[in-house]
Structure 1
C-alpha cells in the first residue's frame, strides 16, 4: 500500500465517524451534540489518526507498531468514555 493511500485510509475513519455523528445529531431524537462536542470529538479523533500515522511511518518493527497503535487506541477509548459518562469520576468529565 502506498503512503498516500495509507494516509487517506487513516484520516477517512475519523471523517466518516464525524459525518455519521452529524447525521445522527440531525435525525435521531436522543442525539444532542453541541458544536463544542463536535470540536472535541474532531480533536480526539484526528489527533489519534495523526499519532497512528506517525507510528506507521516510523522505522520500528511491525510488532512494536501494533503495540503502540493499540496503546493509542486504548487511550482514545478511555478518554472518550470519561468524557461521555465519567467512568473515573474526574473533574475532566464534569463530574
Structure 2
C-alpha cells in the first residue's frame, strides 16, 4: 500500500514538472574556455566577477551574476528600466531560454 502510494505521488510530481526545464550544461556552439593548468581555486566571488566580465564583453548589460544549479543566473538591465533574470550556459555563455 505504501509503495503504491509513493509510486502515485512520484508520477504526479513528474507530471507537474515543466516540459521545458532549463538545460544549462552540455556541449554546443559558442565560446568555451579551457586551460592546461590550475594555479588555484576561484572563490565564489571571483568566479562571479569573471562570469560578469565575460557576459559584459558579449554585450549583456548584467549587474550581477551567480552560479545557480547548472546555470549562470544573471540580473540584466532592461532597456525601459528595471532588471530581469536571464540564464546562461556556464561553459559557452550562451543564453538559455
Tell me which of the two structures has the higher relative contact order, counting C-alpha pairs closer than 8 angstroms and 6 or more residues apart: 2
Larger CA Rg, structure 1 vs 2: 2
Q: TM-score range by the shorter chain?
A: under 0.3
Q: Which has the higher strand share?
A: 2
